[in-house]
Structure 1
């Protein structure tokens, strides 16, 4: 484990393995750097891979008040640590964060894997506010359960994941992911149009329909993008299937 100091003084923990062009991996909700380690292992033969704990998670610090720009600053610190040039991959809400970072920082290439942008013409659900209320009340496990149900996860699986060691401790950072996604998760057109590097958008054909729709929608917005659909894959893709696709960047 290595550490960098972000612009606000927060310590960000990261791991680095492999060789080649640097590639920073950004995890989604309820993920620390260890969740991305299997993917990093698959990519390490082709890239100098960085996995890190987003602020408030794992071995990284945190500060208040939360602001999405602070997370962009964290990524900027990692970019500096690897020499100032890197590609960027983000999954789920981590793809939402990667999109924001890529619109403000100089990356060589960008991979956005199923950012959960909802349809712009659908009224937002109040489930997100209920998740935040549960967190404020200290009901972290219940907050995780509700969040996972929001994503379409079957209830038995949601209950199992929420009960896994360490998961409930990450519940407060769900508020960060909601902030990254703009709470309602509608498509950030201006942000996407500001991403100039070549961008690969990935979506599975068996994923939630709104995520597949979002992938098609954002490819039409991004200035320099291609879409890769993974047959029969859902939101979480086995690393041995996903890594070769990322390796094309």
Structure 2
């Protein structure tokens, strides 16, 4: 485990494994770097993988007030630690953050995204005040309620699915990271495709989706790739949102080495 200091003084912790061109991994909602550790192990024979804890997660700091721009600065610091440039991979909301970082002009060589959760036109978006709702619940120490609200109202899972998740071992881990749910909600904005960002991003970009859990993710990947000047969409049939690292790694390996 290594650590660096981001621009605002926040400590960011990361693991560095493998040898070769640098690839930085960006975790999604309610997850820390342990979520991307299996993928890092699969990529390590061909790449130097930097798998970091986003601010507010694991042993990384969480300087307040939160701003999306600070998370972009965190990625810049990790890329600097990688040697000054790197490929960037993000999953779910981490994909949206990676897109923001690449669009900000960071020295990203290539960008790959797994199921960025932008919603196609015609699908309802979360309530306009969902960020404030999440922040209020966490401030009132109603972290369990914040997770339930996120899963049901923001993600759109049916009540029976949320009730089943409540009984799973990972629920407690999600509750522990409840304060970061509003961070990811801010990153995703109105949950619509970021047209202006995408159409000006010229670096090679791969948008991946499985679609087993949420079939619309394939439509999102296709639409986003079409907006990107050097975008490509690819599908991993049968893969859920929590994609199998063994299935994902060969596709990323081929993309980052091409």
- TM-score strictly above 0.5: yes
| Shift, 1:181, TM fit | 0.3
Tell me the TM-score normalised to structure 2 length. Answer: 0.90
Q: Distance in 2 between the 1:51 and 1:172 partners? A: 21
**1:111 and 2:112 matched:** yes
**Aligned twin of 1:13:** 13
Question: Is the 8 Å Cα contact of residues 148 and 158 (structure 1) preserved in structure 2?
Answer: no
**SS across alignment from 2:109:** coil
**Aligned twin of 2:210:** 204
Q: Distance in 1 between the 2:108 and 2:145 partners? A: 38
| Shift, 1:64, TM fit | 1.5
Most deviating of 51-60 and 118-127: 118-127
Give structure 1 regions of 4+ aligned residues with deviation exceeding 6 angstroms. none
**SS across alignment from 1:214:** helix
Match of 1:189 among 170, 195, 214: 195
**1:169 and 2:172 matched:** no
**Aligned twin of 1:138:** 141
**Aligned twin of 1:25:** 25
**1:242 and 2:232 matched:** no
Question: Is the 8 Å Cα contact of residues 86 and 109 (structure 1) preserved in structure 2?
Answer: yes
Q: Distance in 2 between the 1:158 and 1:80 partners? A: 38
**1:125 and 2:148 matched:** no
Question: Is the 8 Å Cα contact of residues 203 and 230 (structure 1) preserved in structure 2?
Answer: yes
**Aligned twin of 1:48:** 48
Question: Is the 8 Å Cα contact of residues 145 and 158 (structure 1) preserved in structure 2?
Answer: no
Q: Distance in 2 between the 1:194 and 1:225 partners? A: 11
| Shift, 1:136, TM fit | 3.0
Q: Distance in 2 between the 1:121 and 1:133 partners? A: 29
Q: Distance in 1 between the 2:64 and 2:56 partners? A: 10
Q: Where does the alignment leave 5 or more consecutive residues of structure 1 unmatched?
A: none
Q: Deviations over 1:7-54 (max 9, x none)?
A: 001010000101111000000001111111111111111111111110
Q: Where does the alignment leave 5 or more consecutive residues of structure 2 unmatched?
A: none
Task: Name the count of aligned residue pairs.
Answer: 248
Q: Distance in 2 between the 1:203 and 1:72 partners? A: 24
Question: Is the 8 Å Cα contact of residues 112 and 207 (structure 2) preserved in structure 1?
Answer: yes
Question: Is the 8 Å Cα contact of residues 141 and 163 (structure 1) preserved in structure 2?
Answer: no
Most deviating of 119-128 and 173-182: 119-128
Tell me the TM-score normalised to structure 1 length. Answer: 0.93
Q: Distance in 2 between the 1:160 and 1:99 partners? A: 34
**SS across alignment from 2:108:** coil
Q: Deviations over 1:222-245 (max 9, x none)?
A: 110111101111211111111111
